[in-house]
Copies of this chain bind each other. A is one copy, B any other.
């Protein structure tokens, strides 16, 4: 079954509507469905049955959307996938409570995993969920810190983005009965795929097309996020440019658009785009190398292609 069909079959026409409508709205807003796709591909790679992995695949998509819902409240993000976010369309309390319920719904779906696989799948899921919250906290912490290193940034995005992709692959493979070594290789593939994905996200936040990308451009610049772009610029800049960059970031008197324009001009001058593209290519290649010892079939080819497409995405 197509993953979008499976998601559309989840029934949210339940009472109280105020709790479930925002969940339906969030899940109907599309997105790449990357996480359940990875779980299904990982299972298929090892000849697993789709029906066995589908509950976990759906759990991951619902959990991912829960994190977006709460992140958007915390980041005051107004637009997601081209539509108003839940806290804008409804209010903060709705976003909090329906988000909580989405996390519970993820666990409900997960609990449908076959009993002999459930304990391990649940433990991995809990670990992944914890790491995502830790990553989000580091992200918040770093906004008010001036000395964030690139290593800290990479660890933060590993937690915030990569572990969910890694978990999807690991869980899909495990349910399909893959050996531990292959499962670990797939997990590692997911980690590097995630790193490439997030650096691409940082790049698109500066150089993306608003309509294609589905969210406002320059958000990271405005909230002072220690993105790959900013950290690279801080590292590459000479004394004068560094001063200029810090002044622009600290300015409270400029229009948002003007601030984004000024900081982007500095990124242009430092050719930060090139560093991001290099890093994306490197992580994509590392991800693909992790596939080397896995079963040589068309699914492995799909995973390779997916990594390459991700590195070239515009949304």
Contact = CB atoms under 8 A, between A and B. Distances in A.
Interface of A: 15-16, 18-19, 70, 73-74, 92-93, 96-97, 99-101, 103-105, 107-108, 111, 115, 118-119, 122-123, 126, 129-130, 133-134, 136-138, 140-141
Contacts of A104: 103, 126, 129-130, 133
Contacts of A92: 92
23 contacts: A16-B134, A16-B137, A18-B141, A19-B137, A70-B97, A70-B100, A73-B93, A73-B96, A74-B93, A74-B96, A96-B96, A97-B140, A99-B100, A101-B130, A101-B133, A103-B104, A104-B126, A104-B129, A104-B133, A107-B126, A108-B130, A111-B122, A122-B122
Sorted nearest first, the 10 A-B pairs with minimum C-beta distance are A19-B137, A101-B133, A16-B137, A74-B93, A104-B129, A108-B126, A111-B122, A115-B119, A18-B137, A107-B126
A140 B134 CA distance: 30
Q: Is the interface of A mostly helix, strand, loop or mixed?
A: helix
A126 B111 contact: yes
A313 to B, nearest CB: 28
Given A18-B137, A111-B123, 20 more contacts: A16-B141, A19-B133, A19-B134, A19-B137, A70-B100, A93-B140, A97-B133, A99-B100, A100-B100, A100-B103, A101-B130, A101-B133, A103-B103, A103-B104, A105-B130, A107-B122, A107-B129, A111-B126, A115-B119, A118-B118
